[in-house]
Amino acid sequence: MQQAVARLAPVLPLLTDLGACFARAGHELALVGGPVRDAFLGRTPPDLDFTTSASPDETEAILRAWGSATWDLGRDFGTIGAVRRSGGVETTVEVTTYRADAYDGVTRKPVVAFGESLEGDLVRRDFTVNAMAMRLPSLEFVDPYGGLADLEAGVLRTPSAPEVSFGDDPLRMMRAVRFVAQLGLVPAPEVYAAMQAMGGSLDIVSAERVRDELVKLLMAREPRAGLELLTDSGLAAHVLPELPALKLEVDEHHRHKDVYDHSLIVLDQAIALEGPADAPAESVPGPDLVLRLAALLHDIGKPATRRFEPAGGVSFHHHEVVGAKMTAKRLKALRFDKDTVKAVSRLVELHLRFHGYGDGQWTDSAVRRYVTDAGPLLPRLHRLTRADCTTRNSRKAQRLSRTYDELERRIDVLLEREELAAVRPELDGNEIASVLGISPGPVLGRAYKYLLSVRMDEGPIGKEAAADRLRTWWADQPESR
């Protein structure tokens, strides 16, 4: 307990001061949930969440006198926010009235009922490790459901029966998966059994809420354990069905590797290739959601494209193209933003491109196209491609690494020499129109694309040579006659 209080030392004056303000007004106040859990884990809590016996209106009045500004975070749900600025330091708090929610079982919207006690509020929390509190200003530790013991044992339990807890809000099953990844906890047998039995209830939870939990899971330091629980418990079938579908039955001759396990290894290796959080963009500072999604989903087109060949082999022709379409469809269903959908699906589509490089026989034109097709995704494509090598054959792995090193060196040379990141035809639209004597329209667009292909194939040739090429091309077009 003393160590947890010591971890809260930077905010302890604020905690006791705020607690005293509520006490003087005749109300209870307690620090609750994640901040208390994190203090026992030796972490400095990033947020401060409180619960109180005061009504929302009473809370607002107290916070208005205590802080610099207040706002309504959800008065109907009992939550009021405030910020206090003192000595150049700004602290934000959220205070929620004791709750005793029930859910309607259809829309997942809570029917709000304010509670009467701290213990009653804690029992409605998702897990025991989040059902610990510290009364203020006395700093009395409150743990009616054994959260600290579960935290020390590394076990994830619910304060009430898991069937009741998950029935109240099925999204708590996704939170369980996330806490496995973030905190290294293991679900208790009864929690795991309830997840297996009740996974279908996730179908009534909004896609946005599911997406947010999935993102938090993927952005954990080591998300693999959470993803394995997501799959093994059956939840993935309702959230990301393409993931368990990767568990292809390996034929007796083992003619292809376990695609599911391979994908998790690729994710692990991609994470290891991320740069530090403060690294420049070209180093892909982690955690990077786009890279992690692409690594996890890069092979989801394989089940649909698997073919056993007459000669005894197995093929997955065009799985990258099929996978890109599947990726876009799934991410749209989960309500990811357009930029994320576009970036992840593009990486999935491009992830095999390097394997056409062979032993380095690509022309400069092919290298230019690799760079321009990837565009701003190139740093991520580098890491995805390297992470996709999971062979246990060390000689093959070293050869692939050396070959990609060579490709990156060629890219660097061309980038420096030709500014490929902003490659354009050597004549702009106005110049093309002037050379050909045409007006803006579809023909001008075709002429632009032709000159762009010349630029890609041959590199810079100069404006005069580009104009000559354009005239030669124009002579063969029906519009020129």
Q: Contact 92/73 with Cβ under 8 angstroms? A: no
Residue 400 DSSP label: H
Q: Contact 379/285 with Cβ under 8 angstroms? A: no
Supply the pLDDT for residue 262. 93
User: Residue 83, exposed/middle/buried by CB under 10 A (0-12, 13-18, 19+)?
Assistant: middle
Give the Cα separation of 293 and 321 in Å (integer): 16
Give the Cα separation of 417 and 194 in Å (integer): 60
- For residue 414, list its beta bridge partners: none
Supply the pLDDT for residue 187. 97
Q: Spelled out in words, what is the top-level CATH class assigned to the domain 1-153?
A: alpha beta
Residues 6+ apart with CB under 8 A from 41: 151, 183
SS3 473: helix
Q: What are the DSSP calls for 19-40, one per residue?
A: HHHHHHTT--EEEESHHHHHHH
Supply the pLDDT for residue 201. 96
**pLDDT per 10-residue tile (average), the chain, 481 residues:** 74 92 96 92 83 95 92 85 84 89 55 80 94 95 96 96 94 97 96 97 95 97 96 97 84 61 96 94 95 97 87 82 97 98 98 78 83 92 93 85 89 75 79 88 87 82 88 85 67
SS3 138: coil
- Alpha helices, H only, 354-478: 364-374, 378-387, 394-418, 429-436, 442-458, 463-475
Give the Cα separation of 436 and 470 in Å (integer): 8
Supply the pLDDT for residue 253. 44
pTM of the model: 0.84
| Domain ranges, ordered by start, for the chain | 1-153, 272-422, 429-480
